[in-house]
């Protein structure tokens, strides 16, 4: 067993912070001594308020002191220590502090974004023993700034079963949306950032399923995680205000996944998006743009013999996105095949698989440093 101190500089509940939480929960369940430091007023502990591993940083200037105090406390059990940093500011700090911890702890960082780091120095620092990346595309970016592949470890994201629990029946949710029982429901989970491609999705949905079409039942589109006031006007402009549902943030993702016919991910940039893995684990056919690890997940390119569990289109290509949605609506046999493949693919993103992989990486690196 190990002493594992995770820390993040983020205060939100973004996909990256959720992955840090999933990791902390899984490692604690395996019996490791886990502590997770977050900034004051961070929202992440609200997702797991009863977890015993939460620690809140004091003043920003005392972060290192807080962590080192925890290291000294945990060292009394005689176990090796791992420091694992999440998010940009935390990674920068760990890259510097790790120079002073080389004989006391293993220092690693997590990276799950595709943009090129503006400051490469933390990635070159000998104080950082390794970087764990959530996609091969992310690893390629870091290799592009000169990071050795020997310091890079690919660890895919995961989705816990609790995220898939439906607390509302599909029938009641569809009734709330004013849908006919057999109407297709396309689901998108995102936010207001233009990189999420919401505007393009709205145009594509209007192109694929115009109000004047004769086929029934008419498909609906649910957009979860948005600021409704920012998007409802565009939906009304498309003449589809009764079939495009701009919804706010919700932790009831499992209910929407259970009610949906397919997930649509229209992003311009992603690494390995949580929302895509949630849908795949739920056995939903998916449509995604060819960014980051989306093609790896949906087309089975990463795994020999895997069957496609979704359709992939170029980012920003409205006609291609419209055609993909039409294909899923018109071809029930295609939906069934993709759904079956999604169920199989989803097994790869169970938390226990990720935890075992991270444990193996920690152990390998600790032995290399002579700390184990």
User: Which range marks the domain in which residue 9 is found?
Assistant: 3-158+350-369
Structure confidence at residue 122 as a pLDDT band (50, 70, 90):
very high
175 plus 305 within the same structural domain? yes
What's the whole-number mean pLDDT along residues 208-218?
84
Output the pLDDT for position 215.
Answer: 77
**316 Rama class: left (phi>0) / alpha (psi -120 to 50) / beta:** left
143 plus 8 within the same structural domain? yes
323 plus 355 within the same structural domain? no
73 plus 135 within the same structural domain? yes
355 plus 242 within the same structural domain? no
112 plus 62 within the same structural domain? yes
Output the pLDDT for position 301.
Answer: 58
Q: How many CB atoms lie within 10 A of CB 258?
A: 18
217 plus 323 within the same structural domain? yes
Asked if pLDDT for residue 95 goes beyond 70, the answer is yes
Asked if pLDDT for residue 300 goes beyond 90, the answer is no
What's the whole-number mean pLDDT along residues 107-116?
94
Is there a contact between 129 and 107 (Cβ–Cβ < 8 Å)? yes
CATH number of the domain that 55 lies in? Answer: 3.40.50.2000
Q: How many CB atoms lie within 10 A of CB 330?
A: 11
Total domains, the chain: 2
Output the pLDDT for position 305.
Answer: 57
Is there a contact between 231 and 195 (Cβ–Cβ < 8 Å)? no
Proportion of the chain above pLDDT 90, given as a percent: 90
Q: 179: buried, middle or exposed (CB in 10 Å: 19+, 13-18, 0-12)?
A: buried
204 plus 62 within the same structural domain? no
Phi, psi of 195 (to 5 degrees): -65, -15
233 plus 154 within the same structural domain? no
Q: Could you report the per-residue pLDDT of 49-69, keeping only the tens digit for each? A: 999 999 999 988 999 999 999
Q: Could you report the per-residue pLDDT of 164-201, keeping only the tens digit for each? A: 999 999 999 999 999 998 999 999 999 999 999 999 99
255 plus 304 within the same structural domain? yes
Is there a contact between 264 and 186 (Cβ–Cβ < 8 Å)? yes
Give the pairing of strands 33-38 and 106-111: unpaired
Q: What's the mean pLDDT when you consider all of the chain?
A: 94
216 plus 110 within the same structural domain? no
Task: Locate 364 and state its tokens.
Answer: 């390998």
205 plus 333 within the same structural domain? yes
* CA 250, chain centre distance (Å): 16
Distance CA 338, CA 335 (A): 5
Q: Which has the higher per-residue pLDDT, 104 or 304?
A: 104
Q: How far is CA 322 from CA 29, 56, 213, 261, 299, in A?
A: 44, 46, 14, 15, 19
Give the pairing of strands 262-265 and 185-189: parallel
Q: Whole-model pTM above 0.85?
A: yes
Structure confidence at residue 355 as a pLDDT band (50, 70, 90):
very high
Output the pLDDT for position 222.
Answer: 96
Q: Could you report the per-residue pLDDT of 224-260, keeping only the tens digit for each? A: 999 999 998 888 887 788 899 999 999 999 999 999 9
Q: Could you report the per-residue pLDDT of 2-13, keeping only the tens digit for each? A: 999 999 999 999
């Amino acid at each position: 067993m190990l002493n594992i101190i995770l820390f993040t500089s983020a205060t939100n509940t973004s996909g990256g912070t959720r992955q840090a939480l999933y990791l902390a929960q899984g490692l604690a369940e395996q019996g490791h001594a886990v502590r997770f430091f977050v900034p004051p007023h961070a929202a992440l502990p609200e997702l797991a308020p009863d977890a015993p591993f939460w620690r809140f940083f004091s003043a920003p200037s005392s972060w290192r002191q807080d962590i080192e105090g925890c290291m000294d406390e945990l060292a009394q059990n005689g176990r090796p220590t791992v420091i694992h940093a999440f998010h940009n500011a935390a990674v920068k700090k760990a890259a510097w502090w790790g120079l002073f911890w080389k004989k006391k702890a293993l220092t690693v960082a997590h990276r799950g974004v595709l943009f090129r780091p503006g400051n490469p120095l933390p990635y070159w620092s000998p104080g950082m023993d390794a970087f764990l990346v959530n996609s091969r595309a992310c690893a390629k970016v870091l290799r592009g700034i000169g990071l050795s592949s020997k310091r890079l470890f690919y660890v895919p994201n995961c989705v816990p079963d609790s995220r898939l629990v439906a607390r509302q029946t599909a029938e009641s949710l569809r009734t709330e949306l004013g849908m006919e029982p057999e109407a297709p429901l396309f689901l998108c989970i995102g936010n207001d950032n233009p990189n999420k491609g919401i505007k393009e999705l709205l145009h594509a949905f209007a192109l694929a399923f115009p109000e004047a079409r004769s086929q029934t039942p008419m498909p609906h589109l649910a957009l979860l995680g948005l600021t409704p006031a920012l998007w409802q006007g565009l939906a009304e402009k498309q003449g589809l205000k009764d079939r495009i549902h701009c919804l706010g943030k919700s932790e009831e993702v499992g209910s929407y996944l259970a009610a949906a016919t397919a997930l649509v991910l229209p992003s311009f940039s992603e690494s390995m998006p949580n929302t895509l893995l949630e849908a795949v684990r739920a056995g939903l056919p998916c449509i995604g743009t060819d960014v980051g690890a989306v093609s790896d997940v949906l087309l089975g390119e990463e795994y020999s013999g895997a069957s496609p569990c979704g359709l992939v289109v170029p980012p920003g290509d409205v006609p291609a996105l419209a055609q993909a949605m039409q294909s899923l609506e018109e071809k029930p046999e295609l939906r069934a095949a993709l759904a079956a493949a999604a169920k199989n693919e989803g097994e790869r993103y169970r938390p226990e698989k990720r935890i075992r992989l991270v444990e193996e990486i920690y152990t390998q690196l600790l032995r290399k440093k002579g700390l184990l």
